[in-house]
């Protein structure tokens, strides 16, 4: 009896001493409850599910002490209201793509997709190991936001059209759903870039509000039925060769987290970043085959002359943006520097292999 009483008192004393020294983990404290809003429809395949996955991992790794409630576009805020909601602290976290906020921070577009720019592998490398993240954080800090790589689509398709694109002239007057820098390139070609949220694309194309649309790739395009409202399916996705999705966190909310919870959140988002790319890559080919064989979609490659001219326009767009906005210039210089190095390495690594892997 005396021994048990001694052990009990010793245990209580140790806990008290640990608490005094701050040694008791924060996971024993009051549960943390967050809200995450997204630009995607609720539980949207891969994209919305990726946001759900982050929340699931955070709850599991914290033993239920850190919970994130996920809201799809329109459930709590509109799709294009995610940035402001997180920035203002209305919610603690968001998920979307950085080119949606070009009106607030033009340089943010580099952290979504650059026409004829990086694929997913190079984009991840630039952001995590080539100085990109520090610049991204600098862009978002005035908005009280902390950005993360939150997924990637890989190389996208070129889009759905109701007429053939035989020359650049065929893009003149075209009303196309295409965001970010790709939309600015289309404008240089004489087209009209229109930003439409994911949940509105099908209806807008069906009703003729837009003449063409890009979205992601075969898995998603088949899922939302774009083959029912457009005839021609073009590739490659020159406008989005490795589109980064983002998670954003309100800085004030983040700083209130314990070190354990910060590590859990960071790890969950990193896991989602790799998983979402893997899911797109694993599913796209099967769904492309279904689109072509079952639904008789006319799969077409953009003519080389069209791609060459669009690349000229893309370079003009980047140079003009850098000339107008100091932050864009700073990011563009980093982008170009990393591009020169990674492309030189690709000439030795990726390109020779690509020439022979199909033989």
Count CB neighbours of 30 within 10 A: 7
| Phi, psi values for residue 10, rounded to 5° | -65, -40
Whether residue 44 is preceded by a cis peptide bond, meaning omega within 30 degrees of 0, is no
CATH topology of 26-152+243-281 equal to that of 159-239+284-332? yes
Q: Which CATH number fits domain 26-152+243-281: 3.40.50.720, 3.40.190.170, 3.30.1330.30, 3.30.70.20?
A: 3.40.190.170
Q: Which two tokens stand for residue 25?
A: 């983990």
Strand partners for 152:
244
Predicted local distance difference test score (pLDDT) of residue 101 = 96
Alpha carbons within 13 angstroms on the beta-carbon side of residue 187 total 12
Predicted local distance difference test score (pLDDT) of residue 197 = 83
> What CATH code would you report for 159-239+284-332?
3.40.190.10
Give which of 55, 18, 61, 53 is closest to 261, Cα–Cα: 61
The rounded Cα 58 to chain-centroid distance in angstroms is: 19
Per-residue pLDDT of 299-331, as tens digits, reads 999 999 999 999 999 999 999 999 999 999 999
Give which of 334, 121, 158, 175 is closest to 235, Cα–Cα: 158
In order along its 359 residues, the chain shows pLDDT tens digits of 444 454 444 444 443 444 444 443 444 468 999 999 999 999 999 999 999 999 999 999 999 999 999 999 999 999 999 999 999 999 999 999 999 999 999 999 999 999 999 999 999 999 999 999 999 999 999 999 999 999 999 999 999 999 999 999 999 999 999 999 999 999 999 999 998 888 899 999 999 999 999 999 999 999 999 999 999 999 999 999 999 999 999 999 999 999 999 999 999 999 999 999 999 999 999 999 999 999 999 999 999 999 999 999 999 999 999 999 999 999 999 999 999 999 999 999 999 998 887 77
Count CB neighbours of 302 within 10 A: 19
Place of tokens 């709590």: 76
Predicted local distance difference test score (pLDDT) of residue 29 = 66
Predicted local distance difference test score (pLDDT) of residue 103 = 94
The rounded Cα 72 to chain-centroid distance in angstroms is: 15
Report the alpha-carbon distance of residue 133 to residue 355 in Å, rounded: 33
Domain boundaries, the chain: 26-152+243-281, 159-239+284-332
The CA-atom distances, in angstroms, between 63 and each of 29, 168, 357 are 12, 56, 45
């Amino acid at each position: 009896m005396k021994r048990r009483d001694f052990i009990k008192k010793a245990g209580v004393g140790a806990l008290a001493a640990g608490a005094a020294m701050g040694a008791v983990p924060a996971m024993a404290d009051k549960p943390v409850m967050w809200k995450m809003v997204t630009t995607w429809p609720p539980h949207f395949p891969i994209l919305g599910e990726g946001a759900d996955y982050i929340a699931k991992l955070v709850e599991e790794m914290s033993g239920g002490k850190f919970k994130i409630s996920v809201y799809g576009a329109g459930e709590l805020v509109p799709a294009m209201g995610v940035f402001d909601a997180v920035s203002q602290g209305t919610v603690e976290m968001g998920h979307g793509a950085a080119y949606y906020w070009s009106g607030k921070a033009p340089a943010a577009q580099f952290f979504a997709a650059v026409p004829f720019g990086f694929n997913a592998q190079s984009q991840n490398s630039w952001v995590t190991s080539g100085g990109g993240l520090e610049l991204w954080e600098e862009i978002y800090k005035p908005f009280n936001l902390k950005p993360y790589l939150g997924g990637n689509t890989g190389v996208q398709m070129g889009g759905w059209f109701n007429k053939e694109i035989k020359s650049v002239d065929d893009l003149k007057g075209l009303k196309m759903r295409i965001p970010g820098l790709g939309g600015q390139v289309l404008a240089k070609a004489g087209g009209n870039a229109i930003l439409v949220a994911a949940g509105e694309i099908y209806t807008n194309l069906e009703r003729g509000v837009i003449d063409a649309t890009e979205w992601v790739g075969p898995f998603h395009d088949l899922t939302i039925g774009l083959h029912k409202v457009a005839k021609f399916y073009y590739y490659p996705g020159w406008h989005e060769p490795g589109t980064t999705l983002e998670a954003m966190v309100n800085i004030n909310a983040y700083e209130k987290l314990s070190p354990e919870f910060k590590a859990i959140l960071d790890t969950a988002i990193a896991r989602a970043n790799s998983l979402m790319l893997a899911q797109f890559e694993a599913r796209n080919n099967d769904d492309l085959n279904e689109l072509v064989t079952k639904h008789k979609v006319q799969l077409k490659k953009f003519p080389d002359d069209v791609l060459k001219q669009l690349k000229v326009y893309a370079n003009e767009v980047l140079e003009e943006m850098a000339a107008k906005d100091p932050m864009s210039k700073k990011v563009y210089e980093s982008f170009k520097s990393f591009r020169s190095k990674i492309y030189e390495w690709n000439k030795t690594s990726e390109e020779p292999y690509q020439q022979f892997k199909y033989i």
